DNA sequence: ATGTAGTTGGTAATCGATTACCATTGCATC
DNA sequence: GATGCAATGGTAATCGATTACCAACTACAT
């Protein structure tokens, strides 16, 4: 039931050649006489030999493994990115070693270290904090090619692929402007998080420019449904409740919709709500969520591309790629005039 | 910017001892004089040395890595399981190397092989097919401790942790019975998939027992929202449309709800719909979905437990663990009498 | 003083591959 | 026939750790 380990030496003996020859046949590193090659292939098949990738990696100084660290796997946005990255990497001959930081910089640092100790050939990371994640990212980048994906730390010099949050938020604010709102609430993530900060900054700047048109309030917390629900409930209970919610991501928005309905409001008419990310849930919830689609495919593809570029040239200039977003209008916030 | 590789030899030279001593200090394998230990620690700190896990794994014949293969990462059920398994493994000192099979037995076989070649210490797998996945599972189990999670292949002799699907489906049928339905449609996954087969079998057996009470129809396809939508739409367009849908998982159910609303029916009153899994979406969709909760925490925890047990004794008897489910009643199918 | 046990530390083998280097052979060229 | 080159194959070094084994030393009892 338990098969014995078979090494390249065993194959060599069985085929009547040296281990060097076996290696050459298997890797194609050098030409080998047809007879020897045939003998090797026969022995490999007979013994059901499979090369030990540890030995190979040790000698070659390359594991063909890329590490990836995301803040969470609960937020469906990250699984999408992971999936794209995994496919892309696989097509280039790399495997993906996945870890999560649970949104905690200490855990994050530990996982980064773990991956580096395992000699990954590169690292894709979505740092959980703008500043607290910096030491880990900086140290990692010194040891291994590293690309930040979707979120970044507050520092230059590291590759990054993200989306143009200013553009995404602008398209939402423009949409909301057409509805002539009285008061707009922004419910966003923590400012010590890259996405949270960018989206908040964009909103604040646009709100200031339009302050004659509507009043605003801002609440910051977690990127979760529970927090969204709590924040929206609190806003609605205030003495000047908003008639539009712009949320930092789709999960917050779903919580907010729930809170609005709990307050007896018809979402999409009496109050409008928008999200950000366009996760699958946005399409399936009721009413369907108006949101900003992040180009997940490109995010993964470009990140892998940058990573491989850096792998072949450790000294290339750091690149910051900002991808375009797409406004997706559904029923939770429509363009038409309200009843 | 790029730091030089530093090996145990470098540390040894810097500390003025041999590499054996460094190893002993770092692993605590044997006692070492305080002076030497101090020198080693100083050198480690000065050089920022971190042991290369490849070298260690090669020598120790253990990578402390567990491989995991799931059919998909799009279905949020699997990320939940992954998350639990990852935490559990981590607490035992293992890392998780994750792969997906894209629901394709060929890709699955390839990934299994890849993980084994990388010398994982164990394998957690949710086989995508009952029969087509068998060869890969069998061969893998011969080389490495293996535990099936949530789904299994049609064969004895392999450890498995899953849920009692018969129980789950029974609780749904009992709920639906109380509503005195005229016709019940079962929309389920493919029979060549373990969950699909078990749930279907349970439904068919219960339907037969209750055939005097309601008529039934069965449609089988994919575990996706798109398929659920299509199947439900087709059913509703027939000349004897069902007034209750029991779906093979939550995604199918969400598609079915959408189809019912598209047909102008009020879900929860004119027609009822149930899911299976209790993914986060079930709580957030409208109307909230009545479903069967799988005990994800236990699933992950028990699987890891079984895997470690097998790691320490390769010849123990294979165990099949079936966990209990929990009926979660929400608005898409309530217990009360319908209007 | 001698034998014995317990510490401590170094040397070298080992894990399983790849590959630098050298030796041999065959063949073409002058 | 000598020379050069290409093709082929083996020996051994190498990657970076752990650990079996041996040597040296100390401490203590006899």
Express each pLDDT in A307-336 by its tens digit: 999 998 889 999 999 999 999 999 999 876
Neighbours of B283 (CB within 10 A): 16
Q: Give the mean pLDDT of chain A.
A: 94
The integer distance in angstroms from the CA atom of B27 to the C1' atom of D20 is 17
Which residue from A50, A3, A2, A1 is spatially nearest to A22, judged by alpha carbons? Answer: A50
**Contact residues on chain B for A284, CB-CB shorter than 8 A:** 225, 254, 258, 281, 285
Q: Name the residue among B83, B117, B284 with its Cβ closest to that of A254.
A: B284
Q: Could you tell me the distance in Å between the CA of residue A59 and the C1' of nucleotide D8?
A: 23
Cβ A116–B55 below 8 Å, yes or no?
no
How distant is the Cα of A99 from the closest Cα of chain B, in angstroms?
8
pLDDT score of B286: 85
The per-residue pLDDT for range A238-294, each reduced to its tens digit, is 999 999 999 999 999 999 999 999 999 999 999 999 999 999 889 888 899 999 999
| Distance of A31 CA from C24 C1′ (whole Å) | 16
Contact B54 A142 (CB under 8 A): no
Question: What's the residue count for chain B?
Answer: 339
| pLDDT (0 to 100) of residue B147 | 98
List the single best residue of A27, A53, A63, A223 to mutate versus B (max B Cβ within 10 A).
A53
Residue reference for tokens 């302050």: A211
| Cβ within 8 Å, pair B1-A96 | no
Supply the pLDDT for residue B206: 96
Rounded CA separation A96/B144 (Å): 20
Q: What pLDDT does B74 receive?
A: 84
The pLDDT of residue A230 is above 50:
yes
Per-residue pLDDT at B98: 87
* Strand D nucleotides within a 7 Å radius of protein CB atoms: 7-12, 14-20
The rounded distance, in Å, linking the Cα atoms of A39 and B158 is: 35
Q: Look at the alpha carbons of A100, A199, B74, B325 in this order and tell me if their dihedral is positive or negative.
A: positive
- pLDDT of res. B251: 94
Considering CB atoms only, which of B3, B119, B280 is closest to A142? B3
Q: Contact, A277 vs A248, CB < 8 A?
A: no
Nearest chain B Cα distance for residue A253, angstroms: 11
Asked if A86 and B76 come within 8 Å (Cβ–Cβ), the reply is: no
Footprint of strand D on the protein (CB under 7 A): A 16-21, 30-33, 35-36, 55, 58-59, 61; B 5, 7-9, 19-20, 23-24, 26-27, 29, 50-52, 54-56, 58-60
Q: Is the four-CA dihedral A235, A271, A257, B287 of positive or negative sign?
A: positive
Q: Give yes or no for a cis peptide into A262 (omega within 30° of 0).
A: no
Q: At what angle do helices A165-177 and A194-209 cross, to 10 degrees?
A: 40
Q: What is the mean pLDDT of residues A54-69?
A: 96
Give the percent of chain A with pLDDT over 70: 98
Q: How many CB atoms lie within 10 A of CB B113?
A: 15
pLDDT exceeds 70 at position A339:
no
Distances (CA, A) of B324 to B189, B204, B293, B295, B296: 21, 20, 9, 7, 11
**Residues facing residue A183 across a β-bridge:** A215
For every one of its 339 residues, what pLDDT tens digit does chain B have, with 9 covering 90 and above? Answer: 567 789 999 999 999 999 999 999 999 989 999 999 999 999 999 999 999 999 999 999 999 999 999 999 888 899 999 999 999 999 999 999 889 999 999 999 999 999 999 999 999 999 999 999 999 999 999 999 999 999 999 999 999 999 999 999 999 999 999 999 999 999 999 999 999 999 999 999 999 999 999 999 999 999 999 999 999 999 999 999 999 999 999 999 999 999 999 999 999 999 999 999 999 889 888 899 999 999 999 999 999 999 999 998 889 999 999 999 999 999 999 876 544
Residue A161 structure tokens: 């692929």
Closest CA to B132 of B151, B113, B116, B154: B154
Tokens of A144: 């291994």
Q: What residues pair up with B96 in beta bridges, in sequence order?
A: B66
Ordered DSSP codes for B316-329: SPP-EEEEPPEEE-
């Amino acid at each position: 039931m338990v098969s014995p380990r078979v090494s390249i030496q065993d194959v060599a003996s069985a085929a009547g050649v040296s281990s060097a020859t076996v290696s050459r046949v298997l890797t194609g590193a050098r030409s080998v006489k047809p007879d020897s090659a045939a003998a090797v292939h026969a022995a490999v098949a007979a013994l059901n030999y499979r090369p030990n990738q540890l030995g190979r990696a040790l000698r070659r100084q390359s594991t063909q493994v890329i590490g990836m660290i995301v803040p969470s796997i609960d937020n469906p946005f990250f699984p999408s990115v992971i999936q794209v990255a995994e496919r892309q990497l696989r097509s280039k001959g790399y495997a993906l070693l996945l870890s999560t930081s649970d949104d905690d910089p200490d855990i994050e640092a530990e996982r980064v270290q773990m991956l580096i100790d395992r000699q990954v050939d590169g690292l894709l990371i979505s740092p959980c904090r703008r500043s607290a994640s910096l030491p880990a990212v900086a140290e990692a980048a010194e040891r291994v090619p590293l690309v930040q994906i979707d979120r970044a730390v507050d520092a230059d010099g590291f590759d990054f692929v993200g989306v143009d949050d200013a553009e995404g938020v602008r398209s939402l604010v423009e949409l909301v402007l057409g509805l002539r709102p009285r008061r707009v609430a922004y419910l966003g993530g923590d400012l010590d998080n890259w996405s949270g900060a960018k989206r908040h900054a964009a909103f604040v700047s646009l709100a200031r420019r339009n302050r004659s048109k509507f009043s605003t309030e801002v609440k910051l917390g977690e990127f979760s449904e529970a927090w969204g629900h709590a924040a929206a409930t609190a806003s609605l209970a205030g003495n000047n409740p908003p008639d539009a919610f712009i949320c930092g991501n789709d999960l917050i928005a779903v919580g907010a919709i729930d809170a609005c309905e709990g307050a007896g409001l018809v979402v999409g008419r009496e109050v409008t709500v928008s999200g950000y990310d366009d996760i699958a849930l946005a399409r399936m919830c009721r009413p369907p969520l108006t949101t900003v689609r992040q180009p997940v495919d490109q995010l993964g593809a470009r990140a892998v591309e940058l990573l491989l570029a850096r792998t072949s040239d450790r000294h290339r200039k750091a690149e910051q790629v900002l991808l375009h977003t797409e406004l997706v209008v559904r029923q939770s916030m429509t363009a038409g005039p309200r009843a």
